[in-house]
Amino acid sequence: MKALSKKRRHPLAAVALLLFGLLITGSLYTAAGNISEAKAAETTTASQADVEEGQKLFVANCATCHGMNAEGSDSGPSLIGVGAASVDFQVGTGRMPMQMQGPQAQVKPVQFDDEQISQLAAYVASLGAGPAIPDEEYLDTTQGDAAHGGTIFRVNCAMCHNAAAAGGALTRGKFAPTLSGVSEKHIYEAMATGPQNMPVFNDSNITPEEKRDVITFLKTIEANGSAGGAALGSLGPVAEGLFTWTAGLGIIIAFTIWLTSRPS
């Protein structure tokens, strides 16, 4: 014990302890890296055919704007690290490839089938980590809480999309689209990737379960329709007031004409 105590007081004991700690840390880091690489290799091998087909589709349809290696150009942003969810949303809703340059991409008929969209998403996902296409459990509205989703939507989304999700105008010719008729998957992907002018709501901001609640709320109000009769675009008091003034003035003018046209 005395001999061991003397060695612990040796001037080089601290250096030896530090080297031993670095050796252990390095070994653990290397082992973890090998495991991650092995898992990544398995995933890549399993979808290598899709990645290759996706690359062909990308070069033929997307490289003009996004660059041959998706590095971006003056006509389009880099796609490295945007993830499969971004591609699935943009291409799956017809926004990409863009029909024409403008303030934001317009919805149009989808150019690719589901398999081709999956292949494009697999290729872009292979370029860098990013949001993945959501699991079905987070798209099942039977498990969501519409009331809680409504609260989250009004706090985070209603200022652009309108409290009834009818959409609204933004600046410089941009707009927040209506969310009626949008699929559960595309709503989730929009929250996760932040397309166009929309902010990104990652899992730290809004959890996958809360995203499901928001989707449940949107599908609930879409199914229930307008409880107050004519929705008038669901634009709130501005549209309602305009309708009232227009109808009221029309009635007053018609009544005035009728009075003045009566024989004296």
pLDDT tens-digit map of 6-18: 555 556 566 666 6
The pTM assigned to this predicted structure is: 0.71
Percentage of the chain lying above the pLDDT 70 cut:
77
pLDDT (mean) for 48-61:
93
Which residues neighbour 132 within 8 Å (Cβ) at sequence distance 6 or greater?
A: 83, 84, 85, 125
pLDDT at 30 over 80: no
pLDDT at 6: 53
- Reference 77, options 21, 130, 139; nearest CA is 130
Domains of the chain and any CATH numbers: 46-133 (1.10.760.10), 134-230 (1.10.760.10)
pLDDT bracket for residue 32 (50, 70, 90): low
The residue with tokens 């001037």 is 11
CA distance 199 to 32: 33
Classify 263 as helix, strand or coil. Answer: coil
pLDDT at 4 over 60: no
